[in-house]
Amino acid sequence: MPYCVVTAAATVAGGAHAQEAEEVRIFYQRYGHGATKVLLIIGTARLAHFPSSFMLLFFLFRSVSWAKGDRAALCKISSPINWDAGFAGTYESWGPQVKGLTGAVEPVDEEAPAGDDSGAAEGIEVCCFDNRGMGRSSVPANKSQYTTVIMAKDALALMDHLGWLKAHVVGHSMGSMIASKLAAMAPDRVASLALLNTTGGGYQCIPKVDWHTISLACRFLRARTPEQRAILDLEVHYTKEYLEELVGSSSRRQVLYQQYVKGLSSGGMQSRHGFDGQMNACWTHKLSTKELDKIRLAGFLVLIIHGRYDVVAQLYYARRLAEKLQPTAKLVELHGGHLVSHERPAEVNMSLMEMIKASKSNTDLEEWSNFPKKSEAGSLRTGDGDSAKYLIVTYKLLGKLQLILLFFFGAFYFILEHTRRTLRVLKPVRVSASTL
């Protein structure tokens, strides 16, 4: 089995006060052959996206489920399944991109040397892996061992293990947070950077509060079985139009649902340690101004791809990040949801190939960017500085208000459900005369 062993010293922070930690093994697979190296970093398990979008509501629900002993029902939803469904937060989720970039569907025989590129100089070699806490990789018990910095070090250790000096780094969702940290920590190891359905972590993981997200949250809290939650998970990650498309005689919703439920019966569940740890990584992630400058000034191209109808990660934050990374960043908006890499694989793969080719040809950064030049943007902003600052402050306040509303809504629903259960238990049982 292909594993990269990450030493404790590389994963546990704290200097002289660092604690002894168990050995962490990262499971990976390689596909294709070639001098061009691409590292794909996936995000969290599918239902682990719910804390990203309904953070407090889901935490409240999760605590009830664990208290009722519903651990298996909750965790089974994040079990790995086939590439077509793409609902596992494991390396398998990159199936459409692996096939699109390399043409391969079977992994490389690990008996062959990782650096053997003879006869395939123009080809592409892809490596994707399971993050710590998921799939076949190790699951540290301590939540502090899950941060985007630590997980970026895992990715760098994997590159060292493979003998890759440089790679085109691609991340999705939480994987994009890890990829951006990697780029800030070791910009000399990055040939180009692609961030799919990304956010800045923390409060940016919370969606804009509207009737659609509130409806999804309420329906999710009412769902009692993994199968019921599977239906909602489809609606969270894909657009309605995509789910209603016909695939033969069935709708894509029916096909994906059948694949999803089939995956629930397969082995492998994300443990509570992995679940909590990955949520900690998302919630504590933040890119400082210094880190953003390192990425912006490193000289490599940045590609940000986002679904316009993403419920999990707001498009607004992807646009803001692209603006902060000018003139190196290009923003591509596609008609899709959070799993735009599955919903629009051809467009995503084409954009990734365009980025790789542009990097090889040393395309000028300003030619790569599709944002207005700074001089043009500056002239548009002249005299509007105070207004812009006011809008930013207002937006931040609204974001905090959303968090407060979600908390109170979740707490109200939590209390209501417990009250109903208590009354149901205390309700007297009627005994007929015939039984006496």
Mean pLDDT confidence for 184-197: 97
What is the pTM (predicted TM-score) of this model? Answer: 0.78
In one-letter notation, the amino acid at residue 118 is S
Q: Which residues contact 289 (CB under 8 A, 6 or more apart)?
A: none
Please give the angle made by the CA atoms of 247, 252 and 255, to the nearest 5 degrees: 95
Residue 316 is given by DSSP the state: H
Residue 191: Cβ within 10 Å count: 20
CB 236 within 8 A of CB 338: yes
Q: Write the pLDDT tens digit of every residue in 241-259.
A: 999 999 888 899 998 888 7
Range of 59-68, 331-340, 398-407 with top mean pLDDT: 331-340
Burial per residue of 378-397, b for 16 or more beta-carbon CB atoms within 10 angstroms, e otherwise: eeeeeeeeeeeeeeeeeeee
First to last CA, the chain: 66
Reference 351, options 386, 397, 303; nearest CA is 303
Most confident of the following: 7-11, 181-185, 372-376: 181-185
Average pLDDT, the chain: 78
Calculate mean pLDDT across residues 311-333: 93
Selecting from 3.40.50.620, 1.10.3720.10, 3.40.190.10, 3.40.50.1820, what CATH number does the domain 3-10+21-55+83-111+120-207+269-368 have? 3.40.50.1820
**Would you say residue 369 has pLDDT above 60?**
yes
**Residue 392: what pLDDT?**
62
Give the CA distances from residue 293 to residues 86, 185, 213, 239, 392, in Å, rounded to whole numbers and listed in that order: 34, 12, 34, 34, 20
Reported as a single tens digit per residue, the pLDDT across 200-219 is 888 787 777 777 777 777 77
At 432, is the pLDDT very low, low, confident or very high (cuts 50, 70, 90)?
low
CB atoms within 10 A of CB 303: 26
Taking a C-beta distance cutoff of 8 angstroms, is the pair 146, 45 a contact? no
CB 12 within 8 A of CB 18: yes
- Better-scored residue on pLDDT, 116 or 59: 116
Cis amide leading into 327 (omega within 30): yes
Domain ranges across the chain: 3-10+21-55+83-111+120-207+269-368
Confidence band, pLDDT 50/70/90 cuts, at residue 308: very high
Secondary structure of 185-229 in HEC code, one letter for each residue: HCHHHEEEEEEECCCCCHHHHCCCCCHHHHHHHHHHHHCCCHHHH
pLDDT of residue 172: 96
Q: Residue holding tokens 């409806």?
A: 215
pLDDT at 78 (0 to 100) = 35
Residue whose C-alpha is closest to residue 28's, from 111, 108, 95, 91? 91
pLDDT, average across residues 109-124: 64
Question: Does residue 73 register a pLDDT over 60?
Answer: no
| pLDDT score at 10 | 47
Q: In sequence order, what E strands does 311-414 have?
A: 329-334
Instruction: Specify the pLDDT at position 393.
Output: 67
Stretch 394-402: mean pLDDT:
67
